[in-house]
């Protein structure tokens, strides 16, 4: 395989666009997204826009999926104008989305029928690290599929962990990652809400504790965004939508149920994200879940100008 495989990226959202932008600096990249503005941004970075997933995948050696959930995976691959219409036998599809082990295995089975390889490679780290090539990527794939995708993955990952040889193996480890991340965000929200109720300055609390034993990546990353939620009438920039954790914690608790492992903290965190979704925060940054525990002052506005 050439060290510069022709690469298609399908999905240019919060993670897909920085990944595609980084890849376009090193590889020939063609991409599809439903939003024309995102395609324009990729074109500025040196990528080639495509009108459909099928067009993006036509000449690709590696197709990287950076979509939200399994429904979008199915649409991108097997829907009208999907990549499966043009994927050539021997190409590899890299699934970076968090969809769960069963969904990854089902997708791989459909691709195998087309003679296409699957690399189960969910990512973690956020948009900034995606653009810097500093992601954690956990992989389930056989040696042939991994070798094909390796030049792409190496540009995106600072830590690449091969969990096993089968699609679904990467998803299993990513679910454990999301269990920890989801619980940490929920714990950060409780800490900020309690600090506020006690009359402490949340910004001082976050800045102090993030450097001590109570700190975590999620507390240090989401804590300042929770503080920003209270400091401004405009909601923080959406870097990770709240409904992503509704989905991911659902995957976590479903896997745990099947494995007969109790996950009381993950289940409690899942309920908090569901409450946030019910409060109309699904499309907001996940840090906004703090307002479920400690609402903003009456009369403040969200980013759309609606009263809260």
Residue 2: count other Cβ atoms within 10 Å of its Cβ: 9
Q: Tens of pLDDT along 39-73? A: 999 999 999 999 999 999 999 999 999 999 999 99
CATH topology (fold) of 7-167: Rossmann fold (3.40.50)
Whole-Å CA distances, 230 to 203, 245, 278, 286: 10, 22, 20, 14
Q: Where are the domains of the chain?
A: 7-167, 172-293
Pairing of strands 92-95, 62-65: parallel
**CB proximity list for 20: less than 8 A, separation 6 or greater:** 9, 12, 29, 31, 42, 45, 47, 64, 66
User: What's the average pLDDT block by block, 10 residues per block, for the chain (308 residues)?
Assistant: 85 96 97 96 97 98 97 98 97 98 98 98 94 97 97 98 97 97 98 97 96 94 94 84 97 97 98 98 96 77 37
Domains 7-167 and 172-293 fall in the same CATH topology: no
Pairing of strands 157-164, 62-65: unpaired
- Residue 59 and residue 88: Cα distance in Å, rounded? 8
Whole-Å CA distances, 47 to 21, 55, 59, 154, 286: 7, 14, 14, 19, 30
Tokens of 236: 């923080």
**CB proximity list for 6: less than 8 A, separation 6 or greater:** 27, 28, 30, 59, 60, 61, 62
Check residue 2 and give its pLDDT.
Answer: 55
Task: Name the residues annotated as catalytic.
Answer: 174
- Residue 291 and residue 70: Cα distance in Å, rounded? 29
Q: Does domain 172-293 have CATH number 1.10.1040.10?
A: yes
Pairing of strands 123-124, 135-140: antiparallel
Q: What is the mean pLDDT of the chain?
A: 94
Q: Tens of pLDDT along 241-274? A: 999 999 999 999 999 999 999 999 999 999 999 9
């Amino acid at each position: 395989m050439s060290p510069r495989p022709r690469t298609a990226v399908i999905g240019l959202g919060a993670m897909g666009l920085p990944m595609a932008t980084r890849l376009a600096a090193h590889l020939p990249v063609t991409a599809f997204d439903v939003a024309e503005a995102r395609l324009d941004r990729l074109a500025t970075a040196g990528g080639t826009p495509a009108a459909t997933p099928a067009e993006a995948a036509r000449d690709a050696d590696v197709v990287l999926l950076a979509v939200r959930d399994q429904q979008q995976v199915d649409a991108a691959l097997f829907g009208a104008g999907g990549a499966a219409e043009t994927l050539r036998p021997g190409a590899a599809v890299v699934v970076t989305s968090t969809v769960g082990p069963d969904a990854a295995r089902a997708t791989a089975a459909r691709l195998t029928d087309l003679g296409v390889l699957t690399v189960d490679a969910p990512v973690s780290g956020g948009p900034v690290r995606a653009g810097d090539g500093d992601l954690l990527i956990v992989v389930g794939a056989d040696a042939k599929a991994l070798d094909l995708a390796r030049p792409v993955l190496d540009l995106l990952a600072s830590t690449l962990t091969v969990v096993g040889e089968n699609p679904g193996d990467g998803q299993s480890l990513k679910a454990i990652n999301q269990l920890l991340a989801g619980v940490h965000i929920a714990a950060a929200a409780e800490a900020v809400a309690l600090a506020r109720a006690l009359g402490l300055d949340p910004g001082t609390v976050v800045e102090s504790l993030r450097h001590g034993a109570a700190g975590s990546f999620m507390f240090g990353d989401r804590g300042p965004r929770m503080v920003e939620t209270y400091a401004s009438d405009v909601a923080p920039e959406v870097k990770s939508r709240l409904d992503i954790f509704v989905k991911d914690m659902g995957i976590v608790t479903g896997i745990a149920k099947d494995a007969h492992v109790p996950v009381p903290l993950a289940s409690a965190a899942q309920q908090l994200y569901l409450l946030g979704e019910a409060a109309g925060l699904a499309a907001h940054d996940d840090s906004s879940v703090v307002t479920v525990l400690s609402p903003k002052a009456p009369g403040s506005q969200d980013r759309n100008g609606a009263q809260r």
